């Protein structure tokens, strides 16, 4: 967007440069400006917090870099930062072609002292590996440009998300990705990542049993 094409205005406390040419959409990105999706001015997103509670939030266009989501005004990068810090994910209420609302989850062993394969390679862990030993400790949006190695770096850096609630991403942790509607699980190994589809199968059964009471 070329700012010089638009007249500055004060809108909801923001010095804004609204697009007067009709393309008034709210953009949703990650903290590196990788695009997820856009919604038309006045449309809704569905926000799911870390506990799994869902909220429908209306989105009001301010300019190409600012929007009101729910009752709060954000720079679009600020919104991404706040959601990442909170472990929240979001998607358009009415998805359109080209929209991306992929996400990932991190699972860590619930009781490290009582789980003999904690921090072990998959080769050492595979006989005892059990999804029931794991709990979800984080979730966030996942752009197409980000891979598992990027996530490993992200969750080992200073100031990593949920740094006070989970240990750094380590061997024996599991990352679950959801891309294009398909979920995959990966064990963090000594070197690289090992696909573990049985993790998802077991977690699905555990959740089903919980729902049945």
Helices (H), 1-66: none
What is the per-residue pLDDT across 125-168, written as a single tens digit (0 to 9) for each?
A: 999 999 999 999 999 999 999 999 999 999 999 999 999 999 99
Considering all CA atoms of the chain, what is the largest pairwise distance in Å, rounded to the nearest integer? 65
Read out DSSP for 88-155?
A: -EEEESS--TT----EEEEEEES-TTT-TTTT--HHHHTTT--GGGEEEEEEEE--TT--HHHHHHHT
What is the per-residue pLDDT across 17-57, written as a single tens digit (0 to 9) for each?
A: 888 777 899 999 999 999 999 999 999 999 999 999 999 99
Who's near 185: CB < 8 A, 6+ residues apart?
A: 174, 175, 176, 195, 196, 197, 199, 200
- Any idea what the Cα angle at residue 129 is, between residues 211 and 196, rounded to 5°? 80
Query: Rounded to the nearest 5°, which phi and psi values hold at 82?
Result: -65, -45
What is the per-residue pLDDT across 158-201, written as a single tens digit (0 to 9) for each?
A: 999 999 999 999 999 999 999 999 999 999 999 999 999 999 99
What is the per-residue pLDDT across 71-114, written as a single tens digit (0 to 9) for each?
A: 999 999 999 999 999 999 999 999 999 999 999 999 999 999 99
CA–CA separation, 129 and 180 (whole Å) = 27
């Amino acid at each position: 967007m070329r700012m010089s094409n638009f007249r500055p205005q004060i809108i909801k406390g923001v010095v804004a440069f609204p697009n007067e040419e009709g393309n008034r959409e709210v953009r949703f990105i990650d903290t590196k400006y990788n695009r997820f999706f856009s919604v038309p001015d006045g449309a809704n997103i569905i926000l799911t917090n870390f506990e799994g509670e869902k909220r429908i939030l209306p989105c009001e266009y301010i300019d190409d870099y600012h929007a009101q989501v729910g009752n709060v005004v954000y720079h679009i990068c600020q919104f991404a930062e706040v959601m990442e810090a909170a472990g929240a994910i979001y998607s358009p209420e009415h998805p359109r072609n080209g929209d991306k609302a992929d996400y990932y989850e991190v699972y860590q062993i619930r009781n490290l002292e009582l789980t003999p394969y904690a921090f072990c390679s998959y080769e050492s862990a595979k006989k005892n590996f059990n999804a029931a030993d794991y709990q979800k400790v984080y979730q966030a949006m996942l752009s197409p440009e980000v891979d598992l190695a990027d996530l490993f770096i992200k969750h080992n850096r200073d100031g990593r998300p949920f740094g006070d609630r989970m240990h750094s991403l380590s061997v024996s942790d599991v990352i679950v990705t959801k891309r294009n509607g398909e979920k995959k699980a990966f064990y963090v190994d000594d070197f690289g990542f090992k696909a573990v589809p049985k993790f998802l199968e077991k977690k699905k059964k555990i959740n089903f049993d919980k729902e049945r009471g």
